[in-house]
Amino acid sequence: MLFRKAFSITLITQSLTFILGILNTILIVRAIGPQGRGTYSILLTTVSILSVLSSGGVIWSNTYWVGKGSGNVKYILSNGLFQAIFVLFILLFLSSISPEKTLRIVFEGIPPGLIYLSIILVFFELEILHVNSIFLGLQNFGIYNLLLIGRAALFTPLNLLFLYGLKMNVEGVVYSWMISAGIISVIGLVRLMKILRIRNLIMNLRQFIKSLKIGIRALVVNILGQLLLRSDLFIINWYLGLKEVGYYSVGVVVAELFLKVPGIAGTILFPKVAADSVGNINLVTMITRLMGIPLVLGVLIFILGGKTILLVAFGKEFISAYNPMIWILLGVLALSYHVILDNYFAGKGYPVVTIWAPGVTLILNIGLNLLLIPKYGISGAAMSTCAAYILLTAIKLFVFRRDNEVTYQDIFILKRLDITGLRAIFHQK
């Protein structure tokens, strides 16, 4: 598929998903308030971490091997489905014998019923990750994006039904999440089997072990990344409670909107670099140069108009999310470059820097959170996150520059021929 077409499809889909995401965030926050939003944020983060952890990193090696044309897609898909089923049974078993005191360590203040529903959600999320990773490896961006927008389109009316029609609280959001994830996981699986003409699913241990060789490294990378991005939520809950988590999470959601554009480019970049890591260095640097000015302008707009945006979207109660939002925005400005570079390193098979860099910054982030949250509240958590994002990006920039003999000017400073070069790249396959 042409880069232009892939980028355009992904941009349109992500734009629609972005709009629906904002709408859902507003619907959810206005219906369940800061306490409910805090509960939902903890559940969302936990399901995300468990989905990644239980995958063994295979979801990233799927894209890597399929992108390189070095894996049997039938066996890759089969292994993913059976892995998700196995994980579901293991989590249900562990939850049935886990003492409530153990659960309270992570789920302070959250009803047990919601915790068990979250376990079922892990199964659906893991299956969606497997299916999407294969579509991404095939560079079938059409169906990949269709599944993304389909899920967001289902989630919206379901939230209206459960939250505003049936007047439910956090449980309504979880039901909406579960139904939309379940439907999309089934549609994605059936569609992939039809495209690849797969009539039966057979697990293949040899392919699974092959996937784990890349997957384990990817798992460590992404678990560290997840903890870096979201560990502050659990620390805030421990120190300040779910209501403060709710305020903080709204600031995070707004600030991380700026990761959408680099996320689109990175999604397309991963399978391309897996196929030709040397030939796509110029593509990486061109993307980083072109996105700089729009990102800075966007962050300035949100800094100047952030309070108005929070007031209109979420109500007067959430104005307190402004200060942490500003700190996170500054960190996200740096993290946007990391998103591009991280997909480049992923396409190269997750070199060692992808493991030690987030590990170092995670330790820094946790330490600063423990130091700053008691003193500055959720603004302290945001300061810590900002510092961690900047350090992580600085490390990746240094290694990328050293390994590929490019300058910082190549990465940051817009060149006269970039627009012409971009047009040429848009016509590449």
Q: CA torsion sign, 56 to 358 to 372 to 328?
A: negative
Q: How far apart are CA 226 and CA 223, in angstroms?
A: 5
Asked if residue 223 lies in contact with residue 52, where contact means CB atoms within 8 angstroms, the answer is yes
Which position has the higher pLDDT, 345 or 108? Answer: 345
State residue 6's pLDDT score. Answer: 61
Does pLDDT of 139 surpass 60?
yes
Structure-block tokens of residue 278:
């040397």
| Burial zone of 401 (CB within 10 Å; 0-12 exposed, 13-18 middle, 19+ buried) | middle
Which position has the higher pLDDT, 308 or 98? Answer: 308
Which position has the higher pLDDT, 46 or 218? Answer: 46
Q: How far apart are CA 126 and CA 363, in angstroms?
A: 27
Give the pLDDT band (50/70/90) at residue 327: very high
State residue 190's pLDDT score. Answer: 92
Structure-block tokens of residue 71:
């894996």
Q: Where are the beta strands (DSSP E) in 16-163?
A: none
Does pLDDT of 274 surpass 50?
no
Q: Name the one residue in this structure whose structure tokens are 């499809």.
A: 9
| Burial zone of 94 (CB within 10 Å; 0-12 exposed, 13-18 middle, 19+ buried) | exposed
Does pLDDT of 421 surpass 80?
no
| Per-domain residue ranges of the chain | 3-426
Does pLDDT of 275 surpass 60?
no
* Rounded mean pLDDT, 93-101: 65
State residue 391's pLDDT score. Answer: 95
* Rounded mean pLDDT, 78-86: 88
Total residue length of the chain: 429
Query: Considering the entire predicted model, what is its pTM?
Result: 0.74
